[in-house]
Structures are given as structure tokens and as C-alpha cells.
Amino acid sequence: MSESAQTVSVTDRVKPVSFGISVTALHFIDGAAAAVASEAAVVLLATDGTTRRIEAATGAILSSASNGRRVVLGCDDGRVNVLDGGGEVQTIATDAKRRWIDNVALHGDGSVAWSAGKTASVRQPKGEQKSLDVASTVGGLAFAPKGFRLAIAHYNGATLWFPNMAGKPETLEWKGSHLGVTFSPDARFLVTSMHEPALHGWRLADVKHMRMTGYPGRVRSMQWTAGGKALATSGADSVILWPFAGKDGPMGKQPAMLGPLPTRVTTIACHPASDVIAAGYADGTVLMLRMEDGAEILVRRNDGVAITGLAWNADGARLAFATEAGEGGLLAL
């Protein structure tokens, strides 16, 4: 990274952490950072820097999601497990055929969604389990920010499902394999990441398409900035920032690019209240980037090991990060 007048370092303020696992995802729950490993474990990182290993599954953990209070885990033995901030683990569902739980999602009200093969299922806190089969293997799941609606990404598009309504689900079509999926915070747009290096979006009011292309690699991490002004993504050697503040979203507009480095961005974490984005890179660098002017703050210097977990706590006062080798850090702001 080139040192410039805009680049500031806070590496001396980072508390080093050793998670002792190969981290695949990082979430904050009830003030603790939860580092998820593929090999059945979750390590909870307390504010004082101490860690606690939780055996959260009997097999491999394939997927995870959090709503800030719990982490839901999709496992290779067909179980859907939920971990709370106290370290308690509960199995809330088991696939009848013991299929892999490829994708999971958590609603703000505590409802859980998961998928196994072509089947997407949901369970509300006090409701029964409901399932929907789609045309092909589910690639991603996301709850709408308003109401009880689930987006299901799959081959050739996405399906919008109201589990509590008897009507036929709505299908949004676009050729190709759709993997991750996300609603905009105002629920006006739906965006999917694709197997090819591109995103695709729909304006839900009129199902107008939004083609978001130009990536050199596949987008594996995407997150909305504070207030839904923009969608920040990986997939390149800088953070790609698509504008969504106007009524047309990114239609006819070019994305901004922040934090360019000679290595790819691996994971994104947007500050919950400010126009700041944390970005982790394949070479181990972690930067905080200010959207207004692109100013950079160096949080971690590169060491050749990819950043695989990155998360802010609920009020944005702490940033945690982790590498695929299990090393990481905690920055208090």
C-alpha cells in the first residue's frame, strides 16, 4: 500500500487475537465476536480479548448468519444449529434426508431460514416449519427488512416467497447461476451475486433489471452501507461501491472504487452508522475507508494470509478481523 497524506495507521491500537481455528466467517453477538470455523467450532472473543471455544456442531459448518443476538449455523449432517452470546447451542431443525445445509439466514424477529438442495425452509419463533421447493439448487437466502418475505437465489433468477401467504411465489428471471442475495434496506431493490464475475439486480416496483458488471473476479462479499446509500462489494482489487441513493439505484451510473491495492478484496464490513467501510484483502491487509473522500486507515499490515472474517459490533465502536490461519485482532474506536 502506498503511504500518502490520506493514509493513517492504527495498527498499534489493535489487540492481537489467536482464535486457534481456520476462520470462515465472523459475527458479533451480544458484544462478543464469534469466529466460525468449518471444522465444527465457533470461538467467542470477549471485549477483554479472552477467547472461548464452543463445539457448535458435530460435523462441518457450511454456512452461518447472524442478527446481532444469535448466530445460525448450517451443518453438513443436516442440522440447523443456533448459538447465543452465552455459548449455548440448540438444534432447531434437522433435514429429514440429512442433506447439507448450504445456506442460512436470520430475520430481525428471530425467524430462521435455511436450504438443503432445492428446498428452502423457514421457522418463526412461535410458528411451524414451512418449506418451498424451487426449480434448482438454492444459492442464497435473504429476509426482507420489512414484513415476512424471503428471497431465494437459484439458477436463472430468484424467487420471492411470503411463507405466511397462500399466494404463488414471485419469480424474478435472469439467466445464469445466482448465489448470494440481498434486499436493500428500504426493500426497493434486490441484488444477487452470480457465478460469473457480476451482480444482477431488480427494482422491485417494476421488476426493471440492473446489470452490474465489470468485475475481474466473482463477488463473494457484499454489504449495504449505513442507510442503504450504496452496496459495497468484493470481486476486485478495490472495494466496488454501487450507488443506491436515488430512485433508479445504479442504473446508468458507474460505481466508485475505494482502497485499491495490488491484491483482491476478500471481505467487506460496513460501519452500522457512519459512511465508513472496513475491507479485508487476500494478502492480509485490513483497511478502513471513508466513503466521502476515499481516505484510508491501515488497521492491519499484510502478511500474506487472507482475511476471511471481518465485523463491526452493533454500535460500531469495535472492529474485529480474522485470517484463514486463525490469527486476528480487535480494534476499539
> In this structure, is residue 244 part of a structural domain?
yes
Expressed as residue numbers, the domain containing 283 is: 218-333
Chain centroid offset of residue 120 CA: 18
**Residue 167, pLDDT score:** 86
For position 299, which CATH number holds? 2.130.10.10
| CA dist., res. 252 & res. 248, Å (int) | 8
Q: For the chain, how many structural domains are there in total?
A: 1
Q: Is 180 helix (H, G, I), strand (E, B) or coil?
A: strand
User: What is the distance in angstroms between the CA of the first residue and the CA of the last residue of the chain?
Assistant: 23
Residue 272: per-residue pLDDT: 96
Is 225 inside any structural domain? yes
Mean pLDDT by 10 residues, the chain (333 residues): 64 96 96 94 93 95 96 97 95 96 95 98 92 97 95 98 93 97 97 97 96 96 97 98 91 94 98 98 98 96 97 97 96 94
**In contact, 53 and 14? CB cutoff 8 Å:** no
User: How far is Cα 135 from Cα 137, in angstroms, rounded to an integer?
Assistant: 7
CB 108 within 8 A of CB 70: no
Reading phi first (left if > 0) and then psi (alpha if -120 to 50, else beta), residue 272 is in alpha
**Domain-embedded: residue 17:** no
Strand, helix or coil for residue 90: strand
285 in a structural domain: yes
294 within some domain:
yes
Q: Is residue 322 part of a domain?
A: yes
- Asked if residue 104 belongs to a domain, the reply is no
Let me know if residue 29 belongs to a domain.
no
**Would you state the pLDDT for residue 3?**
45
> Which pLDDT value is given to residue 2?
43
The confidence score (pLDDT) of residue 141 equals 98
